[in-house]
Amino acid sequence: LIENRLGLPEKSRVLYNQISYKNAFPSSNEQTDLTNSLEEPTLLVLIERWLEQTPGLEDSTL
């Protein structure tokens, strides 16, 4: 779940016991948490949005 929140792409993941990490969460609560973590914005996206709204960070070299 942490990797999902950080924005690690699925193609960059290592297989867990030769299966997708999604299959390593057997309970419905874990599956729900996993699905939610994939649908919510990643930390990178949230930081980018925050920085876009922060005044004074314009690129002055252009």
Which tens digit of pLDDT belongs to each residue from 2-61? 888 999 888 888 887 888 888 888 899 999 999 999 999 999 999 999 999 888 767 666
**Residue 24: predicted pLDDT:** 80
Compute the distance between CA of residue 38 and CA of residue 11 in angstroms, rounded to an integer.
Answer: 14
Mean pLDDT across the chain: 86
Compute the distance between CA of residue 49 and CA of residue 36 in angstroms, rounded to an integer.
Answer: 20
Please choose, from the candidates 56, 42, 40, the residue with its C-alpha nearest in 3D space to the C-alpha of residue 3.
42
